[in-house]
Chains A and B, each alone.
Chain A
Amino acid sequence: MDAGKFRAIVLRTGGTNCDLETKIALEEMGVKTEIVHMNKIESKSLLDYHLIVFPGGFSYGDYVRAGAVWGKRVFTRLREQLEKFIDEGRLMLGICNGFQVLVEAGVLPGDGIGETPLVALATNSSAKYECRWVWLRVENNRTPFTLAMEKGEVLKIPIGHAEGRFLTDEKTLEKLKEGSQIVFKYVLPNGEDANGLYPYNPNGSLYDIAGICNRNGNIMGMMPHPERAFFGWQLPEWGEAPPERGDGRKVFESVIEYLENNIS
Chain B
Amino acid sequence: MGLNISLDRMKYLKQYFKDRPLTDVELEMIAQTWSEHCFHNVFKGDVLTDDGRLIHSILKTYIMRATRELNKEWCISVFEDNAGIVDFDNGYAIAAKVETHNHPSAVEPFGGAATGVGGVIRDILGVWGEPVALTDVLCFGPLDIKYEDLPPGVKHPRYIYRGVVAGIGSYGNNMGIPTVSGAIFFDKGYTGNVVVYCGCIGILPKDSYVRNTCEGDFAVLAGGRTGRDGIHGVTFASVELTEESEELRSAVQIPNPIVEERLRRAIIQIRDERLASGITDLGGGGLSCAAGEMAYRSGLGVDIDLDRVLLKTPDMAPWEIWVSESQERMLLSVPEKNLMRVIEIFNEEDVEASVVGRFVETGRVRVFAKGRTVCDLDLKFLFNPPKVTRKARLPKPAHSEVNLDEPRDLGEELLKLLSEPNIRSKEDVIRTYDHEVRGCTVIKPVYGDEAGPSDAAVIKPLKDSWKGIAISCGINPFYPDPYWMVANSIEEAVRNNVAVGGRRIALLDNFVWGSPENEDNMGMLLKAVEACYDFSKALDAPFISGKDSLYNESPLGAVRPTLLITGIGIISDVRKVVTPSFKEEDNPIYMLGLTKEELRGSAYLRHKGVDGGEVPRVDGVISKRIIDTLIRVIDEQLVLSCHDLSEGGLGVAAAEMVVASKNLGAEIHLRKVLSGTRRSDFILFSESASRFLVEVDRSRYKRFEEFFSGLPFSKIGRVVKGAGLRIIDLNSRVSELSSREIKKAWRGY
What residues of chain A have their CB less than 8 Å away from a CB belonging to chain B? 14-18, 20-21, 24-25, 37, 39-40, 56-58, 60-61, 128-133, 158, 160, 162, 189, 225, 227-228, 230-231, 233-234, 236-237, 239-242
Encoded as 1 (CB less than 8 Å from any A CB) or 0, chain B from 439 to 480 comes to 111101001110000000000100100000000000000000
| Closest residue on chain A to residue B450 by CB atoms | A237
Q: Which of B176, B431, B442 contacts A234 (CB 8 A)?
A: B442
How many A-B contacts if CB must be within 8 Å? 101
Known A-B contacts A14-B258, A14-B349; the reply to A236 vs B449 at CB < 8 A is yes
| Contact of B441 (CB < 8 Å), options: A24, A234, A242 | A234
State in angstroms the CA–CA spacing of A119 and B439 once bound together. Answer: 28
Interface of A is mostly: mixed
B window 558-598: CB within 8 A of A: 574-576, 579, 581, 583
Report the Cα distance A14→B62, complex, angstroms. 44
Chain B CB within 10 Å — which of A56, A58, A236 has the most? A236
Contacts of A225 in B (CB 8 A): 436, 439
Contact of A17 with B176 in the complex, beta carbons under 8 Å: yes
Please pick, from A14, A40, A60, A131, the residue contacting B433 in the complex, using a CB distance under 8 A: A131
A-B contact pairs, 9 of them (CB 8 A): A14-B261, A17-B437, A129-B433, A131-B432, A131-B435, A160-B434, A233-B575, A234-B439, A241-B576
Of listed A158, A237, A239, residue having the most chain B CB within 10 A: A237
CA distance A77 to B463 in the complex (A): 34
Within 8 A of A (CB), among B327-366: 348-350
Chain B residue at smallest Cβ distance from A199: B431
B258 touches A24 (CB 8 A): no
Expressed in whole angstroms, the Cα–Cα distance for A42 and B175 within the complex equals 26
Please tell me if the beta carbons of A237 and B581 are within 8 angstroms of each other in the complex: yes
* Contacts A18-B176, A58-B174, A61-B258; A39 near B350 (Cβ below 8 A): yes
Instruction: Look across to chain B and name the residue whose beta carbon is closest to the beta carbon of A160.
Output: B434
Range, interface on chain B: 35 or more
- Could you tell me if A237 and B449 are in contact, using CB atoms closer than 8 angstroms? yes
- CB-based contact B436/A131 at 8 Å: yes
Residues of B within 8 A of A18 (CB): 176, 437-439
Whether B439 and A233, one on each chain, are in contact in the complex, defined by CB atoms closer than 8 angstroms, is: no
What is the distance, in angstroms, from B439's C-beta to the closest C-beta of chain A?
4
The 8 residue pairs across chains A and B that have the minimum distance between CB atoms: A17-B176, A237-B448, A21-B439, A61-B258, A160-B434, A129-B432, A14-B262, A228-B439
Proximity string of chain B (417-436) to chain A, C-beta cutoff 8 Å, 1 when within and 0 when not: 00000000000001111111
A21 close to B583 (CB less than 8 A): no
Beyond A58-B258, A133-B449, A240-B583: 10 further Cβ-contacts under 8 Å? A14-B258, A17-B176, A17-B437, A60-B258, A61-B174, A61-B256, A227-B439, A234-B441, A236-B448, A237-B448
Chain B residues in 8 Å Cβ range of A160 = 173, 434, 436-437
Q: Which residues of A contact B176 (CB under 8 A)?
A: 16-18, 57-58
Q: Compute how far the CA of A21 lies from the CA of B437 in the bound complex, rounded to whole angstroms.
A: 9
B104 at the interface (CB under 8 A from A): no
Hey, which chain A residues are within 8 Å of B463, CB to CB? 24
Contact status B436-A129, CB under 8 Å:
no
Instruction: Decide yes or no whether B163 CB sits under 8 A from chain A.
Output: no
Taking the closest CB of chain A, its distance from the CB of B219, in whole angstroms, is: 25
- Check B350–A14 contact: CB distance below 8 A: yes
Q: Return B590 CB to nearest CB of chain A, in Å.
A: 18
Question: Within 8 Å CB of A17, what residues of B?
Answer: 175-176, 261, 437-438
Q: Min CB distance, A25 to chain B, in Å?
A: 8
Given A61-B257, A129-B169, A133-B449, decide whether A239 and B583 contact each other with a Cβ distance below 8 A. yes
